[in-house]
Amino acid sequence: MSMQSELQENIAAAAFNADDAMTASEAVIYNPSGGTPRPIQAMVFRPEAEIHGNARAPDAIVTVLNNATTGISSTEINVGKDTITVAPRYGKTAEARRMRLVSHNAVIVKLEVQ
């Protein structure tokens, strides 16, 4: 097993485990343009809404595994066309939202959701 695979496996078990109520993850749906939507586990941070000049804070920052099966591979993201279905507030009804790739490495992908 490669170090990248081992890291993903350990992070998935610790932070993205849908069967463990103590994890910080929640279910979201990745909607690739022209592809089949798939449910994945994500850590969702919802910052307070603020406006800085002409820019506004994102509605959410979504962190997923950089994996085409258990998360979203950074190579498959079609920015501007793909969406992610996530609730604007925890416990509210989820909506398909536009997303922007903020950062990624071999293990995780961080997306800004508007």
Which position has the token pair 């293990």? 107
Cα separation of 41 and 44, whole Å? 9
> pLDDT tens digits for 56-79?
778 899 999 999 999 999 999 998
pLDDT class for 20, splitting at 50, 70, 90? low
DSSP-derived secondary structure letter, 7: H
Domain parsing of the chain, residue ranges:
3-113
What distance lies between CA 105 and its chain's CA centroid?
14
Token duo for residue 47: 């910052």
Q: What is the pTM assigned to this prediction?
A: 0.79
Q: Closest Cα to residue 92, out of 59, 50, 61?
A: 59
CA distance 52 to 106: 31
